[in-house]
Amino acid sequence: MLRRTAYALLVLALAGTATACGRSAPDPAAAADARGPITVWLSNNAQEVQWGKAMVASWNERHPDQHVTAQQIPAGKTSEEAISASIIAGTTACLAFNTSPAAVPTFQKQNGLVSLSDFPDGEKYITERGGSLTDQYRSTDGKFYQLPWKSNPVMILYNKKLFAKAGLDPEHPKLATYKEFLDTSRKLVHSGAAKAAIWPSPSSDFFQPWYDFYPAFAAQSGGKQLIEDGKPQFDSSAGRQVAGFWRRLYAEKLAPQEAYPGDSLNDGKAAMATVGPWALAAYKNSVDIGVAPVPTADGGSDKHSFSDEKSAAMFSSCKNRATAWDVLKFASSAGQDGNFLETTGQMPMREHLTEKYAGYFEAHPTYKAFADQAERVVEVPNVPGSIDIWQTFRDEWTKSVVFGRESTPAGLRNASSEITDLLNEYGDPS
C-alpha cells in the first residue's frame, strides 16, 4: 500500500511539473493577424494611470469588438522583475507601457517579446515617430522589440527656498561647472540650509548609475553611451572627470553615503536631486522647484543627459497581436501623446516637442527645459547582459567613488576590464 501511495505521489508530482512546463504559447503566425480583447499594463504612477484609463476608454468607445483592459503593472521591486517573472509564467499582458530599455535584451533572450519590425508598417511607424533618436533602441539583430515611447531627461531639480536660505540666488543658481556646483553645494550644507546638497541613492542596485554617473557622463562626453561598438567608453578622460567630481561630493560629505528612506528633496533634507520631469507633479504642492542642466567640467550649453526612457513592448503571450499593434499605434499617436504630455508632464519620444506642443510649453514653462533636453538624450546601450554590465559598473563605483576604497581611475579601469570580459562572454556564450 505504501509503495503504491509513493508511486501515486511521484506520478502526481511529475504530472504537475510536466503540466507546468508544458504551457503553450500562441502560434506566432495566427496571433499576428488575430483581433480581439487584450490587456495592457500601465506603470503605477498616478498621472500615467489617469492617462492610460482615458486612452483605453477612448479606444473601447471606437472598437467595442476589441475590448482593452488596463491594469497597473504587478507589484515588484522593479517593473523589470515583475515583467520577467510574468514572461516565464506566460502571464504577461499584451502590451506594457513601462519597459526599461536595459531589460529588453533579457526579455528578448527569454523569448518574451514580439518583434515590432515584423508588422508590415512597424519599421516605418517607429522611425517616423521617434526620428533621429530611434536607432538607439534597435536590438543587435537590427529589429525593434520596443517602441521608444516617452523620456524623462534627467536634470538637476533644486529647492529654491533652501537656495535662498543659504544666501544663493534661486533664480540664477551657479551649477554649470563642477567648481560652481561644488561651491554651491558647500554653501548649502555649511550654512545649515540642508543636510545634503544632493542625495542620490548610494546603494548597490544596478540601475542607480542612471541617476548619478550616467547623466553626467553623457554631458561630459558629448553624448557617448556606456558601451559603443562593443567597447566600454567610460575609462576615458570624461569618465574620470565625472568620477572625480562625484567622489569629491561624497568625500566632503556634501552627498551622504547612506540611502535616504524616502524622498530627500521632498522632505527638505537635500537641496538638489537628479530627476526627470515626472517629479514636478509630485513636488508641485510641497517644494518650489527650479531646474538646471547637469554640470560639466567646463559648463556650456546644449549638453546631453540620460533619457530615463521607457518603452512600450508587446509580449509573446499575446494572442491578438493585430489588435495590440493597433492599440500601440493609437496610444502613441500625436493626439494621445499630447494628452500624455498634458496629463503627466513626461516627454513623448518625438522630435521638436516644443514646436509640436507649443501651447502646452507656453502654459508650463518649467517643463520647457526638459523638452529642450529631450532633444539631446543618451540611452542605455542595447547589448546582451545589460543588467550584468550595469551591476559590475555599480559595484566598482560604490567602492571607488562613494566609499573611496580605491582610486577612481582604478575603479573605472577595473569596471572597464570586467565589462569587456562580460561582453566577450555574452558575445560567445559557449
Partner 1 sequence: MSVNLQSAPAAVRDSAPARREGPRKARGLSRVGALFVSPYVLFLVVVFAVPLVYTVWISFHRFYFTAPGTDVDSPWVGLSNYKDVFTDPVVGRAFLNIVIFLVINVPLTVGVSLVLATALNAKIRGRAFFRAAFYLPYVTASVALVAVWQFLFGSDGFVNHLLGSHAPDPSWLVNSHLAMPMIAVFVTWKQLGFFVMLYLASLQNVGKELYEASAMDGAGRVRQFFSVTVPGVRPATTLVVIYAIITGANLFSEPYLLTGGGGPDHASTSPVLLMYQKGIEQGHPDFAAALGVVLVAFVMVVSLAARKLTERGN
Residues that bind partner 1 (CB under 8 A): 1-2, 5-6, 9-10, 12-14, 16-17, 23-25, 81, 84-85, 87-90, 106, 109-112, 195, 201-206, 256-259, 261, 316-317, 387-388, 391, 395, 398-399, 402-403, 405, 429
d(CA 346, CA 84): 25
- Residue closer to partner 1, measured from CB, 121 or 258: 258
> Is the CB of residue 276 less than 8 Å from the CB of residue 344?
no
How many Cα atoms within 13 Å fall on the side-chain side of residue 371? 23
> Minimum Å distance from CB 389 to partner 1?
10
- Residue closer to partner 1, measured from CB, 39 or 296: 39
d(CA 53, CA 331): 11
d(CA 331, CA 52): 8
> Minimum Å distance from CB 147 to partner 1?
19
Beta bridge partners of 425: none
- Residue closer to partner 1, measured from CB, 183 or 395: 395
Nearest of 82, 253, 265 to residue 162 by alpha carbon? 265
- Residue closer to partner 1, measured from CB, 34 or 281: 34
Assign residue 230 a region: left if phi > 0, alpha if psi is -120 to 50, beta otherwise? Answer: left
> Minimum Å distance from CB 260 to partner 1?
9
> Minimum Å distance from CB 29 to partner 1?
14
- Residue closer to partner 1, measured from CB, 112 or 122: 112
- Residue closer to partner 1, measured from CB, 65 or 428: 428
DSSP reduced 3-state for 99: strand
| Buried/exposed code over 335-360 (b: 16+ C-beta within 10 A; e: otherwise) | ebbebbbebbbbbbbbeebeebbeeb
How many Cα atoms within 13 Å fall on the side-chain side of residue 140? 17
> Minimum Å distance from CB 264 to partner 1?
11
- Residue closer to partner 1, measured from CB, 1 or 29: 1
> Minimum Å distance from CB 60 to partner 1?
28
> Minimum Å distance from CB 282 to partner 1?
22
Count of all residues that appear for the chain in the document: 430
State the Cα torsion 159-160-163-168 to the nearest 10°.
150
> Minimum Å distance from CB 410 to partner 1?
14
- Residue closer to partner 1, measured from CB, 72 or 201: 201
Q: Report the DSSP pairing between strands 196-198 and 270-275.
A: parallel
